[in-house]
Each structure stands twice: as structure tokens, then as C-alpha cells.
Amino acid sequence: MQYRPLGKSSIKISEIGFGCMSLGKNEENTSLRLLHRAVDRGINFFDTADLYDKGANETTLGKAFRSMRKDLVLATKVGNQWRDDGSGWDWNPNKEYILKTAEESLKRLQTDYIDLYQLHGGTIEDPIDETVEAFELLKQQGKILQYGISSIRPNVIKEYVKRSFIVSVMMQYSLADRRPEEVFDMLEGNEISILARGVLAQGLLVDKPAKDYLAHKAESIVNIQKKLQELSSPERSTSQTAIQYVLSNPNVASAVVGIRTMEQLEEVTSNAQRLELQELNALREAITPIVYEQHRTHH
């Protein structure tokens, strides 16, 4: 396993991260076994959120990692507030709410600090300075080490780059969703890492039958599936090839994969050949990238 720096911080994270939302349906024992095995396979970066299973996901991580906490990088997220009647959640980026919720996440994770605390979304109408103040205060108190945002909205990302000390932006990024590439130069110029999620495009890049995806027609997905298979071999499976596309950008700190089974875990953590430049170009040419249409301007 290779490790990459998280933004300007001194934290180094495994280039394959574990997206813990995928643990949702597992029995607790299965989840614990999977998480421990992931550590054996070299994964040190685990990403959860207070939203997943109404906090139960964080609780599982707390149980799994209590005894090895200092060797791991735990990331969680805040900003989505469950309604009292459980019917759904509302967006709440207010300072007071973030400070209160951080305490609850710390308890569930059975830890006194969170390595990376992320805003779970965000709009241009948010009280951004107040949100940043909450993160900065938590940092001063030692309750979080670093903070970032989870967003693909160019206008929101720009504001945080300007007005805060984020070390990372988590965004959906894959061969089938290259929309984030437009903000890569800005992030790289500010030494802000990308945490890529959705790197297998819901399995469409691996083994799911092709269908329309985002602005792509199913035929485009078929093209990219063919090209991935063509470039894959016993040394590098199709999903590894798709992941290597994302990791070919040095500013991507980690490809955060939703791992559900031991087989998936073994596959994504096996050593894979890096993509050669001509292979990268062949993949890029196999599909026309789509552009992010909304959230471009200030209101």
C-alpha cells in the first residue's frame, strides 16, 4: 500500500481509503472483521459520517478501532441534521450545531480527536465564515486535527479555498464522472487534496450492465467498459484499472472505496500496475467528459 499526504498537513493516508457507508447492511461482527482485515491490508484511512445509520456507523468504527486508534486516520462528516421524527434530515451548517455534533461523534468514535472533520455538503447561501469558525475552534481545542469539505459544487469549493484552511475536498470522481477535473488546478495550487469517492461509478465500471449515468448515455458507458477490460489483465483487474485512473492524478490523496466483502477488499488492496501514459490517454479518449452545469455563480 502506498500513502499520500493529506493536503498541507503532516497526515499521510492510504491511497485506497475505506468508505464506511458500505458497512450499512452488514452484521456487526462481519463489519468488525472487514475493518480489521482492511488495517492488515494497509488501509489506514476510514471515512464515515454522523448521517450514516443515524450514527451507528461511527459507533461500529469506535468499537473496531479503540485499541489501535493512534495508527489510523479517522474522517467523519457533519451538517445533516436528522429530524426528530426520523423522517429525513435538514441541512445545518451553523457553528453551534457543528460544535455540539462534534462532541457526539467523538463519543461514538470512542476517541478524543477526529483526524479529518468534513462539512457534508454546502451551498453558496451558507454562513460560510461561521462554519469555518466552528472548524477552527475545534482545531484549537484539539478535538479535530484538520478539516475539509465534501462537495462537487465549483462555487462552494472556491469560497472555502479562499476563506478557510481546508486540507481536502471529497468529491465523486471516476472515469464516468470527470466533472471535478475543472477545479483540480485550483486545488493543487493551494495544496488541497482530493478524496475521490464513487470511483467505480456504482459498479458500472466493473461488472454492472451499462445504463444511462449522469449525462452519459448507456452506449458511452459500454465504450468505457470495453476499454477498461482491454487494458486489464491478471496483474490489474478492471476495478483496479478504474481506480488507477483516479490515482493517476497525484493530487488525489485517496480513492475512497465502498467495500462490502472480503473479496472486494483483497482485490482493491492488491498491488496493481500503474497506468502508462498511453493507457491513460486511451481511457480519456474512450468517453467524452461531462461538465458540471449548476452551482457555478454567486447569488
Whether 213 is a known active-site residue: answer: no
CA angle 295, 194, 198 (to 5 degrees): 75
- Cα angle, residue 95 at apex, residues 58 and 93 outer, rounded to 5°: 70
Check residue 203 and give left, alpha or beta (phi > 0: left; psi -120 to 50: alpha).
Answer: left
Using CA atoms in the order 219, 223, 225, 230, what is the torsion angle rounded to 10 degrees? 160
Q: What angle do CA 167, 243, 120 make, to 5 degrees?
A: 40
Asked if 269 and 238 touch (Cβ cutoff 8 Å), the reply is: no
Handedness of CA 246, 248, 252, 258 (dihedral sign): positive
- Catalytic residue, from 52, 160, 213, 245: name it: 52
Asked if residues 249 and 194 have their Cβ atoms less than 8 Å apart, the reply is: yes
Q: Which H/E stretch holds residue 18?
A: strand 16-19
Known catalytic residues are 52
